[in-house]
Amino acid sequence: VEPRLLVEITDGTTSWKAVTGECTGVTYPPAIVSVSPLATAVGTLKKTIKPSNISIVVEDDWMRPIFVNNELKNQKVNVTLGAENLVEGDYEDYFVNGWIEDIIPTDGNTVEITVSNVLGRIHEVDITGAWYGVNPLEAVEDILLNSSID
């Protein structure tokens, strides 16, 4: 059984989906050439977390009509992992709530999409506020819920 990654790009109203190879369980085009592995770096001295980005390489023939007719920068991306014979509902999350940082044509046949996770999105936004005596996770939740971050 061959593993497959299903990539979904959505602008809030329309979704575009493609997979990394022929599948019997889903009918989306096999237009995904590759998806980079997930990696999160942790600073050894300050224990800071560097947000992970992934790179998705897609066939130009599939991608060009989508990005010519739609503004895709800052749109959401979800990547799920499954197998060639599984239906979409059986796929599991691989990279969720990412957002498109950049779209770069590469060699005339493919396009590289750089996708950042939500921590990368926070990194790009000015955040002000005060959270005294609050659990850090509650502070992060407040930031995510009450900022301009989608």
Give the whole-angstrom CA distance, residue 90 versus residue 92: 6
Mean pLDDT of 53-70: 88
Among candidate residues 103, 112, 90, the one with its CA nearest the CA of residue 6: 90
Which band of pLDDT confidence, cut at 50, 70 and 90, is reported for residue 108?
Answer: confident
Give the whole-angstrom CA distance, residue 125 versus residue 18: 30
Structure tokens belonging to residue 70: 């739609």
3-state secondary structure of 119: helix
**Is pLDDT above 70 for 51?**
no
Judge contact between 30 and 119, C-beta under 8 A: no
Structure tokens belonging to residue 62: 């599939």
**Is pLDDT above 70 for 43?**
no
User: How big is the chain by its Cα radius of gyration, in Å?
Assistant: 17
Residue 149: what pLDDT? 57
> Roughly how many angstroms between the first and final C-alpha of the chain, as a whole number?
36
Judge contact between 33 and 110, C-beta under 8 A: yes
Residue 1: what pLDDT? 78
Range name among 14-23, 62-71, 95-104 with the lowest pLDDT average: 62-71
**Is pLDDT above 70 for 41?**
no
Residue 93: what pLDDT? 93
Which band of pLDDT confidence, cut at 50, 70 and 90, is reported for residue 124?
Answer: low
The single-letter DSSP state of residue 84 is T
Range name among 22-26, 44-48, 84-88, 103-107 with the lowest pLDDT average: 44-48
